[in-house]
Structure 1
């Protein structure tokens, strides 16, 4: 098998993406935008919009998405420079075997999100079309099977669906905004809106950042295909402006105009139920195939340290992940999964802080070590800090986790790595004497 064919079968899971396979700015931007173009962002925007005045909602959206873009740019730059996926980047902090723990959690998180969205969309189909006779369990399996078609084809599959999904989401957003302008009261009512049940800036910002910080954490899987720093910066900013900020802003306008933060009911109030349903098909597809793709790369990171390295192709792992998600969805995981997602939301974001701390401050990659205990301890500290933040309702738990993990890693590395270096120097002096 040729080198190019091998890389295609395994999606460059074990090595850097070569220059010959880097993508154009247009391709990079569309695929990056396809991931955050999700119904959840429209819903998050609606929740923020209905709970705040227009000016405060706009400020909150800008601040929240600014934080997300900063995470994407920082981790995306490392992926572009090294050509490595999120899971393999984590080796630089955790070590070869240590990174497997993160990869396992990443795969579990992806499976839960895929199955959850399969369950939710199946329920939406069932409630929207009275003639739909298939049970929710079978419908969920069919939905996940559809999303898998692009995921098993790697980056090329993501690209094809993103070129369909991104315009669909933009059309839905634009039509929604136009409908708001044409509604009774128009934009005047939006600008003068006073929420009945206001929410705080902290709570609103937390929902924006917390709702998509997992997605921002694994964007290196796509950013590694960038050709230049310029393409990375432009692509990331444009993609998240469209996918996160754009959809959330449209959701906020629709919610304020109708006084309803529920996506389905708000769009129905504007007479846009059919448009919303069609667009939601692509919104879910472009997000969930990315989840399948990222989970496959995470599993390859685990297999790299076993005899199965290079023996299991990307498409086979993607099918296994989708199959597992389909089983969970068929058994109604919607009723049990929320505590799992909340738990994972506290542990996965801090990994970005560890990677950033290693790459920009410590600069002593641990990828050749088996386990870096400093990273594991820093991760544990960050997880505890995130949990305290969540329970005490202080600031944004994922951001608390990222900052805590980064600072803990830098401080502990400076202390113990310097100590180890001094011990080695003393030993060397004794030997020379």
Structure 2
């Protein structure tokens, strides 16, 4: 099996295959430039005044997300391992199937959402209703479901080439849309005097910001493991998940605040950017869809102990397309809130295992003696999820902190219980 052509699904990425900071940053930016982020920004934009509430929510949410991904990105670069392989250390050889299942489902869910959204919105932009023309909508979903996975099938190189072309174009369109929205807000709605229309709690809003990309961010190691140095991984993660994701949230939020329309597609139509909107939507979704299905292939290869990443990519695309046909796109906000609650504790457990227990060093995975279950990791994840779901505060942050603390406490307790037994032999 040619591990290089399959992007090293079951081993560390060798130094000879590492990429530059520019290459890594553009791939991650292509990932975070996602229409769903703008939709989420639209939901927040109609619920808060621009200053200081909306600005503080966007900055706080994306700063937390960027810092979270940067730490995981650094771990990925140091070890050369993706999230699925890191989970073997922090959850155990069999126990890692839990985060594999959770992360695999979320990535397939995102793939289904993007595939359905591309078909439905394209029909809307040309004046057709997806419900009325359901046969055409379903046909488009099938076409897009298989087309989007092409660059992921190629591997990192395919993701890089697409992102180099699409990222500058998307930045330009976002800048134009923001410029028009700010001008329209100043002329017709009184600028800072624009008032929100819907109620939304601050904690919920920050969770939406964090949740838009916490699943993808948790698996950013799939790319940062290619970084030439940990420093490159940290900077690329911050550029993509703090600045890039923040720009997408801001564009959606400002457009919604000015036009009182949370749907970014309708905002682009109001602004007279219909043709550009179609182009942006296609590039926007494609650059995220291929990364999403690439994430699934990484998890799938590890879960099924196979090096056939390209085959797993196609299987994932089929499952995601089925979810699109079932209209998973109708449940975006509940999906984001679930992601913001149950995904961050996975990253918290990985951080605790690598940085605290292992003190920043893993043995080669091929020779590592891994237990079937890392009880501290499983306990940390369960406690983190419960704390995020039932506890006060910002659920993603609460979940990460609780998972780290629970992991450390459980690991030390288990170590104390094992010492007497070892000494009595």
- TM-score with structure 1 length normalisation? 0.88
Per the alignment, do residues 282 and 53 of structure 1 end up closer, same or farther by CA in structure 2, a change over 3 Å counting?
A: same
| Residue 414, structure 1, aligned to residue 412, structure 2 | yes
Deviation digits for residues 315-359 of structure 1 (CA, Å, limit 9, x no counterpart) = 111011101211232343446898777656543321101011111
Task: Give 1:195 deviation, angstroms.
Answer: 2.1
| Residue 67, structure 1, aligned to residue 60, structure 2 | no
Q: Structure 2 CA distance, aligned partners of 1:117 and 1:181?
A: 28
Deviation digits for residues 87-113 of structure 1 (CA, Å, limit 9, x no counterpart) = 001111111222122212222221121
SS class of match (1:35):
helix
SS class of match (2:4):
helix
Which of residues 371, 374, 386 is equivalent to 2:373? 371
Residues 91, 367 of structure 1: 8 Å contact kept: no
Paired residues in the alignment total 413
SS class of match (1:185):
helix
Residues 164, 282 of structure 1: 8 Å contact kept: no
Residues 115, 325 of structure 1: 8 Å contact kept: yes
What residue number does 1:224 align with?
A: 225
Residues 74, 231 of structure 2: 8 Å contact kept: no
Q: Which runs of 5+ in 2 are unaligned?
A: 363-367
Per the alignment, do residues 151 and 234 of structure 1 end up closer, same or farther by CA in structure 2, a change over 3 Å counting?
A: same
What residue number does 2:347 align with?
A: 352
Task: Give 1:250 deviation, angstroms.
Answer: 2.0
Deviation digits for residues 243-290 of structure 1 (CA, Å, limit 9, x no counterpart) = 201111222222222232221222222222222221011111111111
Deviation digits for residues 294-329 of structure 1 (CA, Å, limit 9, x no counterpart) = 11111111222xxxx44xx21111011101211232
What residue number does 2:249 align with?
A: 248
Residues 172, 275 of structure 1: 8 Å contact kept: yes
What residue number does 1:161 align with?
A: 162
Residues 45, 248 of structure 1: 8 Å contact kept: yes
- TM-score with structure 2 length normalisation? 0.90
Which of residues 82, 86, 106 is equivalent to 2:83? 86
What residue number does 1:431 align with?
A: none
Per the alignment, do residues 12 and 45 of structure 1 end up closer, same or farther by CA in structure 2, a change over 3 Å counting?
A: same
What residue number does 1:146 align with?
A: 147
Residues 9, 315 of structure 1: 8 Å contact kept: no
Residues 33, 288 of structure 2: 8 Å contact kept: yes
Residues 210, 396 of structure 1: 8 Å contact kept: no
Q: Structure 2 CA distance, aligned partners of 1:197 and 1:131?
A: 28
Task: Give 1:15 deviation, angstroms.
Answer: 1.0
Q: Structure 2 CA distance, aligned partners of 1:145 and 1:137?
A: 13
Q: Which runs of 5+ in 1 are unaligned?
A: 428-433
- Could you say what the CA RMSD is over the residues aligned between the two structures, in angstroms? 2.4
Alignment of 1:254-273 (within 5 A): 254-273=255-274
What residue number does 2:15 align with?
A: 19
What residue number does 1:315 align with?
A: 310
